[in-house]
Structure 1
Amino acid sequence: MDEGLKTIIAFLETVHPYDGLPQDELARVAGSFSRREYHAGEEVYHAGEPLKGLYLVKRGAVEVLEPSGGIVSLLGPRNSFGERGLMRSGLAVTTARVTQDAVLLMLPTGEFRRLIAEQPSFERFFQRGRGSEHRESDLTGQKVERLMAREPFTVPAETPIRTAARLMRDKSVSSLGVTEAGRFAGLVTVRDFTNKVLAADLSPDLPVSQVMTRDPVTLPPNALGSDVLHVMLERRIGHLPVVEGGDLVGIVTQTDLTRFQAVSSAQFVRDAATAADVTELAAVTARIPRLLAQLVGAHNAHEVVTRLITDIADTVTRRLLSLAEQDFGPAPVPYCWLACGSQGRQEQTGVSDQDNCLIVSDDATAEDMQWFARLARFVSDGLDACGYVFCPGDMMATNPRWCQPLRVWRDYFAGWVATPDPMAQMLASVMFDLRPIGGDPALFRALQEDTLDMAARNSIFVAHMVANSLKHAPPLGLLRGFATIRSGEHKNHIDLKHNGVVPVTDLGRVYALIGRLPVVNTRARLEGAAEAGVISPSGARDLIEAYDLIARTRLEHQAAQVRAGTAPDNFLSLPELSDFERSHLRDAFVVVRTMQSAVGQSRGARN
């Protein structure tokens, strides 16, 4: 395999929905892409010309224009565009022009249509009615308050230019608001210092008011992204103040617009993969809440948001494994680091602890296991420093119980399946969500296949797992009301995790067990269960739609908290929702309870 193809494969593994393809199919698709380079100002496609396939931005930026010449969107890496005949949803273009030197990958029309026909994930992503949820690049309808950088830095008009420049350097910003008598009066940018101070040989001791742009064009927080694009393009500016009641409340920059395109998720992965130490990794993960708010604000589907957030955790974990091996030397025998819980299912949100374990080759000696204990401590401590706090239940590789040779893991699973007491059910539930993150995944594959087969054939174990899946009930009260938390810090709230998504997660795990499905993502399990006939098509459709609504509500709640400057959590106050939203959320919970009853009765009748 040549290096060019390897590079494309590595890139596609970070792009949805290509990331879900089997390795052989991914390699085939990667080989179908052609690589094209464009310089800023070049047109990729112009209205009326034939567009021969689907374009995927690998590097750079592309603007998409409507027939009148207006900007529809700005696209960055990981974004796709194509002709209207190809994409009934997603971004269909009339004209596309490169704004920053770009590398584009082009998938021929025939190959794209084959993927649509053969891969359900592609058909869902590009052509079904959920397209608006996936148009992460369409910022034209977004409110400015979701795009802007909050808490902008300001200086009084009499501040020396030198002092203002140092503040911009220290705060890593490219502009400052300037105030007079406490009110917003102007804007000064790095470009002003270059063109008006250095080029004009002005003294840096002059007041900043002499080089600022006085009374610049502004927008209110409730303006739209399209307003930002039009003002920036018409006036050829890169910074736009957001003013409310005469006060500067934010600044939108071209960088903010680019970040909004979900480009930042790829940037996070790149920054994490190249971090020199834990401190740099923690700086990357500290930006995740804002990324979450941006992704949710762009109306991405919840499974896309959580996948992108989880990708960052995966990369951080792999980087920590690499840094550990740099310190301790190479691993003495093969190993596999696995994530469980929400990271294992690729469903992380803005609130995540760490759940992980280590499978070590049976060739390991007692001395080797001491090396892996050091590895586990290094990685787990690093994850905690990066915001993935220690698991309260000690489900981590630092616990010797969860850092064992493969033969011990086989004994664990065999024992849990043979004797499904409550503790075994709990442990099996956690371990059925395992996903390899680093090391040699082959150590896990055979174990997973054998365990699924063994568990599915044991009707008593399946019955216990079904019973275990019914322990988390949706928060339904009497008379079409909700059962809220009765006391404590979160009184009168509903828990969107334990009483919202967890009941569906538990059902998905049972369906996967019954159908012997190796996937661990909840939505993928529900879809796989429908395809395997484990649940009826109508039941699967209703449950998936209910899950989508509950999971989306949870993310929107967390994103709103991030935008308000508070830490995200899973506890929703019902007054946050309109009557319409409450009605639909309750209907979703009713569907979940109905499916719980169905699986309980079905398995009970068989055993």
Structure 2
Amino acid sequence: MDDAQLPDVLAFLSQTAPFSELPEAALTDLCNHLHIRYLARNQTSDLLQLQQLHWLRSGTVQLKQQQQIVDHIDTGGCFGAALPGHPANSALQVLHDALVYSFDQTAIDELAEQYQAVANFLQQSDKRYLALEKSQATPSLQAPIGDLLKRQLVSIKPDASIIQAAKRMTQERVSALVVMRDDRLFGMLTDRDLRSRVLAAGLPADALVDQVMTHPVHTIEQDASVIDALLTMSAQQIHHLPVTDGNQIVGLISSTDLLALAQANPLYLVGEIARQSSPQDIEHCCQQLPALIDTMLRQGMRSDRVSQLITLVADIACRRLLVLTEAELGPPPQAYAWLCFGSQARQDMSASSDQDNGLLLAEPPSPEQQSYFQQLASRVCESLDRCGFVTCPGNIMASNADYRMSRIDWLAQFKQWLQSSDPQALLNASIFFDFRAITDPHGLAEQLHNQLRSLCQQDQIFLAALARNATAQKPPIGLFGRLILERDGKGSKGIELKKRALAPLVEISRVYGLAAAADDAGVAARLQAAHADGKLSSTDTNNLTECWQFLLGLRLKLNQQQQTLLKPQQLTDLQRHQLKECFALIEQAQQAVLLKFAGGHG
């Protein structure tokens, strides 16, 4: 190694685990054993045959076994045959040009004997690869749902009797039947339907299937992923999902099928939470989430999928806590919907997301009813906080009486925000127009959403105000593509990614989504709705969606490192280039949304 390279090498090691815990003298001595290599994209290399440990100074590589990805390594990551637990017979794929710092195993072993931080690092590596090995033994979360179909479809006709349907379920050992008419999917009958619509309602055994079946039914295409299926089931709060190939039904998947294959990934955690019988057990389950996020990111899962799964865990935890709390307090005195706002409503949560929620009541509550819902909300919000979904600093929570209102009162509040020119009213509208029901058995949230959708779509003054608000925070890029850094309270310099990039994209998508009457509050879904409505070109839609996914991925990794500022020097050259392109895209999108909805006036 050239002496001129030493300062740069030491600077990198001092910010990289486990070397950041070592004194400078130890790092300087270690550099005597350093091998520096450059790997070009798609280059083959014998690095994995050497008894060395390798740290990526820049670039991205993957480890593969039989064409399956077993690890994904970015800048600062470590790999090598000498690393405990390293996957045997794996191949190295260079995704982006990589600069690699390598050390002989003997040099690292000597450090491990002297410094506990190095020994702990090696032990954690062994545990991490063991977790990855377990997760690889199960079907991928991104595998097509059609790959899970193992048995023939069990069906029945709509004019069959209930007793015939029950016998068929018993004979075939299934919990649901698809109802077919003229070789087409007509409905579905589940064991839950038999309990709630037949036994509880006192219907005779000769009643017909089409009297009690679910119709219409939600379906999913066979090439959709396992994640897509689980998210659909969660959103619709159903346990069975017919799988189709075009117009042809090819099978039926259940939530039990999905959870059974997932003991080493987030789907297993979802199932565990749903089975718990106390808030304390749910809180204990949720402690596994940070480690699972790390596993998903290392496996190269798409950032929006990771956020959706974090949100799914939060949703399931909230639903289960509501069930358990109702069991303690007694049945609710009137119908209600539990609403979530912000990142949970958009399904783009991270490990550091706080909770924003409220209660939508069917009618204005009496003092006694208000007392019940106060207890319900307070207990659930406190448990969610202990689960890791921290309380909202602005107190936007169902435990606050201001956010427990009837549908009439919520609608009046939204109308007031729409008609006000006050900046706080606009801020409130921005927060609360991103809402979604976590539990809503009576359809209260859907009614409110439909009323608000028509109000917003027609209110050009409000949309113009939102458009101006979307341009208030400019992305941190200056002349000639120079990144603009800011300091935090500790003197560190970097980019506040959430405030300067993700938030403007959320606001841009909100304007387009409300103008297009989008059903979904998610950023990508709103952009797609705007494209379908002719308000956004396919090129702009794709570019902004890819920009969102890239920035979301950077933020998730920042959260895992418990950092708030993104430091450009920690990015690869390619990532810095992509970051600058994203900032330029956001700036262009801000100008476009201002022109379309506010006549270009900021």
Q: Quote how far apart the aligned CAs of 1:488 are.
A: 2.1
- Cα-to-partner distance string for 1:387-440 (whole Å, 9 max, x where unaligned): 111101111111111011111111111111122421111111111110100243
Is the contact between residue 143 and residue 222 of structure 1 (CA under 8 Å) also seen in structure 2? Answer: no
Matches within 5 A, 1:387-406: 387-406=388-407
Structure 1 Cα separation of the partners of residues 308 and 567 of structure 2: 26
- Find out whether 1:583 has 2:561 as its counterpart: no
Q: Against the structure 1 CA distance between its residues 333 and 520, is the aligned structure 2 distance closer, same or farther, given a 3 Å change threshold?
A: same
Query: Is 2:83 the counterpart of 1:221?
Result: yes
Once the two structures are superposed, the pairs formed by residues 222-241 of structure 1 within 5 Å of their partners are 225=87, 227=89
Matched, 1:257 2:133: yes
CA–CA separation in structure 2 for the residues paired with 1:517 and 1:448: 10
Is contact 2:594–2:600 with CA below 8 Å preserved after alignment?
no
Cα distance between partner residues in 2 of 1:327 and 1:137:
52
Which sections of structure 2, spanning at least 5 residues, go unmatched?
1-60, 92-104, 113-121, 142-261
Which range moved further: 420-429 or 408-417? 420-429
2:83 alignment partner AA: P
Evaluate the alpha carbon distance shift between residue 433 and residue 441 of structure 1 in structure 2; reply closer, same or farther with a 3 A threshold: farther
Listed as ranges, the matches of 1:171-186 within 5 Å are: none
Judged with a 3 Å threshold, the aligned counterparts in structure 2 of structure 1 residues 138 and 501 are, in CA distance, closer, same or farther, namely farther
- Structure 1 residue 493, shift from structure 2 partner: 1.0
The alpha carbon displacement at 1:570 in A equals 3.5
Cα–Cα, structure 1 residues 539 and 460, in superposed 2: closer, same or farther, change >3 Å? Answer: same
Aligned to 2:593: 599
Are 2:136 and 1:142 aligned?
A: no
| 1:468 alignment counterpart | 469
Equivalent residues of 1:558, 1:569 under 8 A apart: yes
Note the 1:397-416 alignment, pairs <5 A.
397-416=398-417
Distance in 2 of aligned mates of 1:303 and 1:490 = 31
Query: 1:470-519, CA deviations, whole angstroms, 9 ceiling, x for partnerless residues?
Result: 22221113332112113522631101111121111111111011111121
Task: Using the TM superposition, give the Cα deviation of residue 320 of structure 1 relative to its aligned residue in structure 2, in angstroms.
Answer: 1.0
TM-score (norm: length of structure 2):
0.60
Mean Cα deviation higher: 380-389 or 537-546: 537-546
Which deviates more from structure 2 when the two are superposed, residues 275-284 or residues 588-597?
A: 275-284
1:501/1:366 Cα in 2 relative to 1: closer, same or farther (>3 Å)?
same
Matches of 1:393 and 1:330 in 2, distance apart? 30
Alpha-carbon deviation of 1:326?
A: 1.2
Question: Contact 1:456–1:514 (CA<8 Å) still a contact in 2?
Answer: yes
Q: Is the 8 A contact 1:136 1:300 kept in 2?
A: no
Which aligned segments of 4 or more residues in structure 1 are displaced greater than 4 angstroms?
Answer: 135-139, 143-146, 252-256
Deviations 1:92-127 (A, max 9, x none): xxxxxxxxxxxxxxxxxxxxxxxxxxxxxxxxxxxx
CA distance in 1 between partners of 2:481 and 2:350 (Å): 29
Shift of 1:245: 2.3
Q: For 2:459 and 2:531, how far apart are their aligned partners in 1?
A: 22
CA drift of 1:136 comes to: 14
Distance (Å, rounded) in 2 between the aligned partners of 1:490 and 1:321 = 43
Q: Name the CA distance, whole Å, in 2 between partners of 1:472 and 1:145.
A: 30
Partner secondary structure for residue 337 of structure 2: strand
Distance 1:221 1:529, change over 3 A: farther
- Over 3 Å counting, the alpha-carbon distance change for 1:136 and 1:461 in structure 2 is farther
Aligned residue in 2 for 1:289: 290
Task: Give the residue type in structure 2 aligned to 1:317.
Answer: C
Conserved 8 A contact 2:465-2:598: no
Find the aligned partners of 1:356 and 1:257 in 2 and give their Cα distance. 38
Deviations 1:557-602 (A, max 9, x none): 334x2xxxxxx34321111012232122111110011100111122
SS in 1 for 2:574: helix
Match of 2:41 in 1: none
Structure 1's 449 and 145: CA in aligned 2 closer, same or farther, altered over 3 A?
A: closer
Residues 144 and 341 of structure 1: is their aligned pair in 2 closer, same or farther, counting only changes over 3 Å? closer
* One-letter code aligned to 1:331: P
Q: Equivalents in 2 of 1:137, 1:334: separation in Å? A: 54
Give the whole-Å Cα distance in 1 for the aligned partners of 2:90 and 2:72: 10
Q: Distance in 1 between matches of 2:583 and 2:73?
A: 33
Amino acid paired to 1:258: K
Gaps of 5+ in 1: 1-131, 151-217, 230-241, 562-567
Once residues 572 and 510 of structure 1 are traced to their aligned partners in structure 2, the CA distance between those partners, rounded to angstroms, is 27
Inter-partner Cα distance in structure 1 for 2:132 and 2:298: 13
**Identity over aligned pairs, percent:** 26
Q: CA RMSD in A?
A: 3.2
User: C-alpha separation between the residues in 2 aligned to 1:384 and 1:495?
Assistant: 24
Alignment CA distance shift 1:484-1:254 (3 Å): closer
Using a 3 Å threshold, how does the CA distance of structure 1 residues 371 and 490 change in structure 2: closer, same or farther? farther
Determine if contact 1:139/1:226 at 8 Å carries over to the other structure. no
The CA deviation at 1:459 is: 1.2
SS of 1:300's partner is: coil
Partner SS state of residue 571, structure 1: coil
| Structure 1 Cα separation of the partners of residues 85 and 586 of structure 2 | 39
Q: Provide the secondary structure at the position in 2 that maps to 1:533.
A: coil
Offset at 1:555?
Answer: 2.3
SS at match of 2:487: coil
| 8 Å Cα contact 2:279/2:383 also seen in 1 | yes
Task: Give the direction of change, closer, same or farther, for the CA distance of 1:590–1:490 in structure 2 (3 Å limit).
Answer: farther
Give the secondary-structure state (helix, strand or coil) at the position aligned to 1:595. helix
Measured after TM superposition, the shift of residue 277 of structure 1 is 2.2
Q: CA 1:350–1:455 in structure 2 vs 1: closer, same or farther (change >3 Å)?
A: same
* Aligned counterpart, 2:340: 339
CA gap of 1:582–1:255, structure 2 versus 1, over 3 A, is closer
Aligned to 2:493: 492
Amino acid corresponding to residue 602 of structure 1 in structure 2:
K
State whether residues 336 and 436 of structure 1, in contact with CA within 8 Å, keep that contact through their aligned partners in structure 2.
yes
**2:520 partner SS:** coil
Determine the C-alpha separation between the residues in 2 that align with 1:585 and 1:257: 33
For each residue in 1:211-251, what CA deviation from the matched residue of structure 2 results, as whole angstroms up to 9, or x when unmatched?
A: xxxxxxx952398646379xxxxxxxxxxxx9952755343
| One-letter amino acid of the structure 2 residue matched with residue 334 of structure 1 | A
Closer/same/farther in 2, CA of residues 432 and 490 from structure 1, 3 Å limit = farther
SS for the counterpart of 1:404 is strand
Structure 1 residue 144, shift from structure 2 partner:
9.4
Change (3 A) 1:471 1:254: same
Structure-2 separation of matches of 1:362 and 1:350: 35
Counterparts of 1:203-602 in structure 2, within 5 Å, are: 219-221=81-83, 225=87, 227=89, 245=109, 249=123, 250-252=125-127, 256-259=132-135, 263=262, 264-362=265-363, 364-440=365-441, 442-489=443-490, 491-559=492-560, 561=561, 568-602=562-596
The Cα offsets for residues 277-305 of structure 1, whole Å up to 9 and x where unpaired, read as: 22222222222111111111111111111
C-alpha distance in 1 between matches for 2:510 and 2:380: 28
The number of aligned residues is: 389
Residues 340-361 of structure 1, C-alpha deviations (whole Å, 9 max, x = no match)? 1111111111211110000011
Whole-Å Cα distance in 2 between the matches of residues 429 and 137 of structure 1? 48
> C-alpha deviations, 1:131-171, integer Å up to 9, x for none?
x99x999754416999x9x9xxxxxxxxxxxxxxxxxxxxx
Correspondences of 1:127-138 after superposition (within 5 Å) = none
| 1:365 to partner: Cα distance | 2.5
Change (3 A) 1:137 1:413: farther
CA contact (8 A) 1:355 1:391 kept: yes
Give 1:276 deviation, angstroms. 2.6
Structure 1 stretch 445-454 or stretch 546-555: which is displaced more? 546-555
Preserved contact between residue 338 and residue 440 of structure 2 (Cα < 8 Å): yes
- After superposition, residues 3-18 of structure 1 pair within 5 angstroms as none
CA change 1:441–1:320 in 2 (3 A) is: same
